[in-house]
Amino acid sequence: MRNAPTILHLDMDAFYASVEQASKPSLRGKAVIVGGLGPRGVVATASYEARVFGVHSAMPMAQARRLAPNAAYLVPRFGIYRDVSEQVMGLLRELSPLVEPLSLDEAFVDLEAGGAAWDAESARLVGARLRADIRAVTGLAGSVGLAASKMLAKIASEQAKPDGLVLIEPGTERALLGPMSVRTLPGVGPATGDHLRRAGIHTVEEIAEAGEDELVRLLGKAHGHALHAMALAQDERPVVAEREAKSVSVEDTYDVDIHDRVRVGLEVQRLADRCVRRLRGAGLSGRTIVLKVRRYDFSTLTRSETLRGPTDDPAVVREAAARLLDAVDTTGGVRLLGVGVSGLADYTQEDLFAQAAGAAEAAGAAGERGEYAEEEGGHEEAAEERRDVSVERRWVAGHDVRHVEYGHGWVQGSGLGRVTVRFETPGSEPGRVRTFRVDDPGLEGADPLPLVAGRSEGAVTGAGGAGVSDAGEAEVGLTEAKGGGLGEAPAVSG
């Protein structure tokens, strides 16, 4: 371990909820919960005002609604979260070439590697300036921890929450860690914590006193050695600028179990296409296709197939996923499906036969749906039905819209053929609420506005599209947000 607190850990405070509050003046200072709105949705982030009621991340949304019935419930807008995250990460990269992002809202920074800090005083000044810069650029608050190791820097940022800075002076680590719960240490989850509790070990100091041999006996060699070292405040892990991705995957959880085998197959094909878009977006390809199926009884099956060479061809991935699905019994219903690609590479080895077959299949399917006939003016009723579905799916709670008369706003809720919109912008006063028919010709989806005036790079596209769960993303109930119908209370108050 180094002898100066020059490793910085930044954790943005209630990130998703804070972005929503910054972009929606009517929600500032109020309980905001972001996540899946369907019966099986989970909380992605809860604002500090919502946490007062006991709401926290990963909690079932139904439980959150019972605890905080008057909170604002919003569907995630991952486009703007990623954009704001890039602004924050850009500020971190100005401090050092060694920035290790852990997620959209947290990262480690080696200040010494960038020459930004060399002792406690300079590190504290950098941390304070970083927090001020983040607020100036994004309007958001972030908590900063500074220490001589990654483990301690992360513990310090937790102590700094919300909107603070904590520096752990070298030499004080053991005294600080001693009385803390064993769950404070990385890698100690509920199962390990319960195992230690049954052995009479409750604090970090008691881990150190138990000794390495006892921990190895209780937890195994690798875990026991690592845990004992951490209890002694020993952590030599470096800040790593680039962490190689091991897989790319997407998955959806469904509000109602899918029983129709044809529908299951179509969902798998759709997930395969989304997975390939992510794969290509990262400039990667992969050899192993993975299918994940969670059935009605919560049993989860995973099947995989390894190809002759890496690919980023959607037809190849679709066909492999379909073959894997053929071997899975979906009798009784499916509640979750996922498609992933592993064995990643940065080049492809095309399967021309599968590509040609996929193109022919797509053309045949398009002809069956009447898409070519539509171009010639046929199948008007089918086309109209699809347009109605797309309009209905556009109005997702929390997402951005624009009206020709009233300007920019966001969806408070939709249902029963109506959509409720609050018209306001990040720099305005709390706006007025109006209700429209879902097919109102004056209303359309819009890009999010920058959180801070003058920063047009904050705009992102696709905000009006339907949100669905990817790895780490909450599932979305597209038409279940309350308050969209005439005569109903809006989805959020105030």
Instruction: Return the percent helix, strand and coil in the chain, to nearest 5.
Output: 40, 25, 40
In this structure, is the dihedral angle defined by the CA atoms of residues 436, 437, 440 and 443, taken in order, positive or negative? positive
To which H or E segment does residue 252 belong?
A: strand 247-258
Give the Cα separation of 24 and 43 in Å (integer): 19
Helix (H) or strand (E) holding 341: strand 334-345
C-alpha to C-alpha distance for 413 and 415, rounded to whole angstroms:
7
Read off φ and ψ for residue 225, nearest 5 degrees.
-60, -50
Residues 6+ away with beta carbon under 8 Å from 7: 108, 109, 110, 111, 112, 146, 147, 148, 149, 150, 152, 153, 239
Apex CA 252: angle with CA 247 and CA 255, to 5°?
160
Selecting among 49, 106, 112, 475, the annotated active-site residue is 106
**CA pair distance 182, 194, nearest whole angstrom:** 10
Question: What is the identity of the amino acid at 91?
Answer: L
- Dist CA 15 CA 81 (whole Å): 8
CB burial string 23-32: b at 16+ within 10 A, e below: bbbbbeebbb
C-beta separation of 313 from 276 below 8 A: yes
Burial class (CB in 10 A: 0-12, 13-18, 19+), 298: exposed
SS3 487: coil
What 3-state class would DSSP assign to 50? Answer: helix
Active site residue 424: no
Distance CA 110, CA 8 (A): 6
Active-site residues, by number, are 106
